[in-house]
């Protein structure tokens, strides 16, 4: 059982390709997805490897690294859960794009926070039907009482987007001056959709790129193939569970070390050499 816990928010600065290793349908290299919901995810083992690979850069020594993250031939170290989507960017007719979420995602986030002792008092609102969306009255996305996302026209629900839900999600964004404008947009352009509609959007509106590999002679040596990416501006979260004393490190010391990742840019997934996979993390 864990003694302490942290939450790590992940904000995509570039498209991220956490590869599933299995071709499904028309996409040669799809992203990792939850089996039952089809929501995008990032395996906890991948995130643990990412944190470990950046350990020296934030001042964790080799001995501390082995203690915190464990060793290949020994069980131990911290536990990191799969990263789950919290808010997903979708293009809109007005306001460039908005972030969509749904009651299922918000309820699961609330349960996860309760698991690590962070109680949330709000209850997610549910749109009155699948053709309605809950937004702030001053949202940039509203056009004559409707919200247009991708090729969908949705009516504004009579329910107002609760400020406390917005506050919880805005707190997940990095605490830097550069994110001030992002936070302001988030406050206005967060949208709660029906669960099924949210699932359809996160399945159908990820970024798909077709690639080839050109050899030394300037001709195509491999491809074309298609790759799927979690889009830029996606907000996700993962739990970091810390057991009691890990050899010479107390749980308090481990927390202190892990908080050094806060506001750091990390590389997640593949395609680093073509500028993919960069995300800023917030550890709380």
Give me the residues paired with residue 242 across strands.
4
- 111-138 mean pLDDT: 94
Q: What is the pLDDT of residues 169-197, one digit of tens each?
A: 999 999 889 999 999 999 999 999 999 99
Please give the pLDDT value at position 220.
Answer: 64
Asked whether residue 142 is assigned to any structural domain, the reply reads yes
Asked whether residue 111 is assigned to any structural domain, the reply reads yes
Q: What is the pLDDT of residues 240-264, one digit of tens each?
A: 999 887 777 899 999 999 999 999 9
Least confident of 156-160, 189-193, 199-203, 214-218: 214-218
Residues 6+ apart with CB under 8 A from 188: 95, 136, 138, 139, 140
Asked whether residue 47 is assigned to any structural domain, the reply reads no
Please give the pLDDT value at position 37.
Answer: 97
Question: Which of 267, 212, 235 has the alpha carbon at shortest distance from 89?
Answer: 235
Angle at alpha carbon of residue 209, lines to 22 and 229, rounded to 5°: 60
Please give the pLDDT value at position 21.
Answer: 73
At 75, list the tokens. Answer: 């069980």
Q: In whole angstroms, what is the distance from residue 31 CA to residue 274 CA?
A: 17
Asked whether residue 240 is assigned to any structural domain, the reply reads no
Asked whether residue 160 is assigned to any structural domain, the reply reads yes
Mean pLDDT of the chain: 92
Please give the pLDDT value at position 217.
Answer: 67
Q: Domain containing 133: what range?
A: 86-197
Question: Which of 148, 128, 127 has the alpha carbon at shortest distance from 193?
Answer: 127
Asked whether residue 147 is assigned to any structural domain, the reply reads yes
Question: Which of 14, 11, 9 has the alpha carbon at shortest distance from 232?
Answer: 14
Q: In whole angstroms, what is the distance from residue 248 CA to residue 80 CA?
A: 21
Range list of H helices, the chain: 44-53, 62-69, 103-115, 163-170, 180-189, 195-204, 251-258
At 156, list the tokens. Answer: 């504004």
Asked whether residue 23 is assigned to any structural domain, the reply reads no
DSSP for residue 90: E
| Total count of domains within the chain | 1
């Amino acid at each position: 059982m864990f003694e302490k816990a942290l939450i790590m928010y992940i904000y995509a600065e570039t498209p991220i390709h956490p590869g599933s290793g299995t071709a499904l349908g028309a996409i040669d290299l799809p992203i990792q997805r939850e089996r039952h919901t089809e929501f995008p995810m990032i395996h906890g083992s991948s995130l643990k490897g990412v944190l470990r690979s950046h350990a020296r850069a934030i001042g964790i020594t080799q001995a501390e690294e082995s203690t915190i993250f464990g060793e290949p031939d020994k069980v131990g170290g911290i536990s990191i859960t799969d990263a789950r989507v919290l808010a997903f960017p979708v293009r809109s007719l007005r306001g460039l794009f908005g972030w969509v979420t749904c009651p299922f995602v918000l309820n699961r986030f609330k349960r996860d926070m309760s698991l690590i002792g962070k109680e949330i008092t709000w209850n997610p609102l549910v749109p009155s039907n699948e053709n309605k969306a809950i937004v702030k009255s001053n949202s940039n996305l509203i056009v004559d009482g409707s919200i247009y996302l991708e090729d969908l026209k949705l009516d504004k629900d009579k329910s107002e987007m609760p400020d406390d839900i917005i506050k919880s999600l805005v707190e997940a964004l990095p605490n830097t001056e550069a994110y001030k404008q992002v936070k302001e947009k988030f406050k206005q352009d967060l949208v709660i959709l029906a669960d099924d509609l949210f699932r359809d959007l996160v399945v159908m509106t990820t970024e798909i790129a077709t690639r080839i590999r050109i050899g030394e002679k300037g001709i195509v040596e491999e491809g074309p193939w298609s790759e799927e990416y979690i889009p830029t501006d996606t907000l996700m979260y993962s739990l970091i569970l810390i057991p009691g004393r890990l050899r010479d490190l107390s749980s308090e010391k481990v927390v202190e070390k892990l908080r050094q990742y806060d506001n750091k840019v990390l590389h997640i997934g593949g395609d680093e050499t073509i500028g993919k996979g960069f995300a800023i993390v917030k550890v709380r």
